[in-house]
């Protein structure tokens, strides 16, 4: 592996960037930034992935390009948190998300989730997982963190987050905590806006910083910054990622953190819209960020590299800052970027799948009421709900690949009805008409706080003396918005794995053992 003394300025800057491309095959743009701009790292998304064999082949090709054109193998990064945020294919083992795992009451489940995830990532050549989330979800209205957090207390987030971190590290994959200094107390999604947390350092020290401090003491090796304004700490009007006061003075100096500091994606609107992605990247490096993510557009990486080169040339940026960052990057690559033969048999193996199914069953929460077990073929049961949709990256497209009511209806050989994500009065009336004659309606809620037609329909079903089982397939807080007597279940995510975990609960084979407090 090439050493820093053998590298040109461009080669060093290239090691500080991570980018991606929108296809399942290595794109011409990606090849160009590796070959000409010496970019040394890659981030994977679902749009890059088809199945484990295709993914392994893509990673192998990427590493060949990195090694040939930079002299150094690359970080292959991925957001594989579990639950709502998963990128691995269907033939891999996708574990439950943070809040679900914490509801099980067993920190060992967080460790197991991290270890299983790491083994499968490493088996495909992926060496850097952008997880776990260490944000304390102390704002129930948070649109972007919510179920990605282990909970609303610093103690729970610390305990479960560190357990997952250790599982990842013990499995041989680098782990990054996120989003420093805390994204939990926001009501704006930084993918599509610029959040503000108007708290003093003393207030952050009492809550948000506690999980990060605990994880640093337990050997955290990478921490991701948050694109959030903290006006009481950084008065210049730039977000945490671009703040010297937050990244260097607080994280590195006050907290004594010596590991790798990485940015969240600089193409998120919190940066792109208000500061510009390339200028934001330069600002991040000045602030003390070691590894900058421009996750989707290789051409924008070129612009950022040119800006950094110019800043060094005119004395605006000290090359020693780049040298310090690259020294850390190369040290971690020597530890984690190990080129081994891929092992497809580990990915989605029976041992992992059985362990995951058991963990997932332990995450299903009963919030109130008593269930009426559902028998296969019961003609008096109606399953109802909408499709899911993406709420981040400014996308609200409906996902019609899976349907909760259809899946459950077909499994239990019962009637089902797919409704609109936010039914209007006419659609609510039609759904009520459909529900007549059914004793029991099992309703799958998804983002009901924003789509109040779902709540209105549930309330009308209850007013009609219909027995309702309400299941949240996302934020559990939706259950707190229902008035009346109903049976409540929190399942945390709209996935086939979650649906399967619900079956033994709904048919009465298992009694839910998980626990969560639902309050707004």
The secondary structure of residue 436, as a DSSP letter, is T
**Residue 301 to residue 307: CA distance in whole angstroms:** 10
Sign of the C-alpha dihedral computed for residues 173, 156, 92 and 112 taken in this order: positive
User: In DSSP terms, which residues pair with 235 in a beta bridge?
Assistant: none
Identify whether 191 is a catalytic site residue: yes
Tokens of 12: 């060093």
β-pairing verdict for 41-44 and 75-78: parallel
Q: The sheet that has 415-418: what strands, in order across it?
A: 365-368, 487-490, 467-472, 440-445, 381-385, 415-418
**Is the peptide bond preceding residue 37 cis, with omega within 30 degrees of 0?**
no
φ, ψ (nearest 5 deg) of residue 89:
-75, 175
Q: Which position among 69, 191, 296, 440 bears the catalytic label?
A: 191
Q: Which of 79, 135, 264, 497 is catalytic?
A: 264
Here the tokens at position 83 are: 């639950």
264 is catalytic: yes
The position carrying tokens 């006419």 is: 426
Size of the chain, expressed as the number of residues it contains: 520
Contact by Cβ (8 Å): 39, 306: no
DSSP secondary-structure letter at 133? B
Calculate the dihedral angle through the C-alpha atoms of 235, 238, 239, 243, rounding to the nearest 10 degrees: -70
Residue numbers annotated as active site: 191, 264
């Amino acid at each position: 592996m090439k050493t820093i003394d053998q590298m040109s300025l461009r080669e060093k800057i290239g090691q500080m960037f991570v980018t991606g491309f929108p296809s399942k095959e290595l794109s011409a743009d990606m090849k160009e930034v590796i070959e000409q701009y010496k970019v040394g790292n890659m981030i994977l998304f679902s749009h890059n992935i088809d199945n484990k064999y295709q993914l392994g082949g893509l990673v192998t090709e990427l590493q060949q390009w990195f090694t040939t054109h930079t002299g150094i193998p690359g970080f292959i990064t991925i957001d594989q948190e579990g639950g709502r945020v998963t990128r691995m294919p269907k033939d891999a083992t996708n574990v439950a998300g943070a809040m679900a795992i914490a509801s099980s009451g067993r920190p060992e489940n967080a460790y197991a989730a991290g270890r299983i995830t790491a083994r499968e990532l490493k088996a495909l050549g992926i060496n850097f997982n952008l997880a776990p989330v260490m944000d304390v979800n102390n704002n129930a209205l948070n649109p972007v963190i919510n179920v990605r957090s282990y909970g609303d207390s610093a103690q729970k987030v610390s305990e479960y987050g560190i357990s997952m971190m250790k599982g990842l590290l013990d499995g041989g994959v680098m782990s990054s905590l996120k989003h420093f200094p805390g994204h939990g107390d926001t009501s704006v999604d930084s993918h599509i806006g610029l959040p503000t947390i108007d708290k003093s350092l003393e207030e952050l020290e009492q809550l948000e910083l506690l999980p990060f401090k605990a994880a640093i003491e337990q050997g955290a090796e990478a921490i991701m910054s948050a694109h959030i304004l903290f006006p009481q700490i950084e008065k210049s009007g730039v977000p945490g990622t671009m703040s010297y006061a937050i990244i260097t003075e607080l994280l590195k100096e006050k907290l004594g953190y010596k590991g790798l500091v990485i940015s969240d994606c600089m193409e998120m609107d919190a940066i792109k819209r208000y500061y510009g992605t390339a200028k934001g990247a330069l600002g991040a490096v000045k602030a003390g960020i070691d590894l900058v993510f421009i996750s989707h557009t290789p051409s924008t990486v070129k612009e950022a590299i040119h800006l950094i080169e110019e800043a060094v040339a005119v004395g605006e940026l000290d090359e020693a800052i780049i040298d310090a960052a690259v020294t850390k990057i190369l040290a971690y690559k020597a530890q984690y970027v190990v080129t081994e033969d891929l092992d497809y048999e580990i990915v989605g193996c029976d041992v992992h799948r059985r362990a995951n199914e058991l963990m997932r069953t332990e995450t299903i929460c009963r919030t109130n009421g008593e269930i009426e077990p559902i028998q296969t073929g019961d003609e008096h049961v109606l399953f109802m709900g909408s499709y899911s949709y993406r709420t981040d990256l400014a996308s609200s497209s409906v996902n019609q690949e899976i349907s909760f009511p259809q899946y459950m209806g077909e499994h239990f050989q019962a009637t089902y009805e797919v409704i609109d994500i936010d039914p209007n009065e006419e659609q609510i009336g039609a759904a009520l008409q459909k529900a007549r004659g059914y004793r029991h309606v099992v309703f799958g809620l998804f983002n009901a706080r924003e789509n109040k037609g779902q709540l209105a329909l549930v309330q009308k079903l209850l007013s009609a003396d219909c027995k309702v089982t309400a299941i949240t397939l996302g934020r559990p807080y939706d259950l707190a918005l229902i008035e009346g007597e109903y049976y409540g279940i929190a399942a945390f995510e709209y996935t086939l794995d979650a649906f399967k975990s619900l079956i033994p609960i709904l048919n009465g084979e298992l009694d839910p053992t998980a626990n969560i407090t639902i309050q707004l």
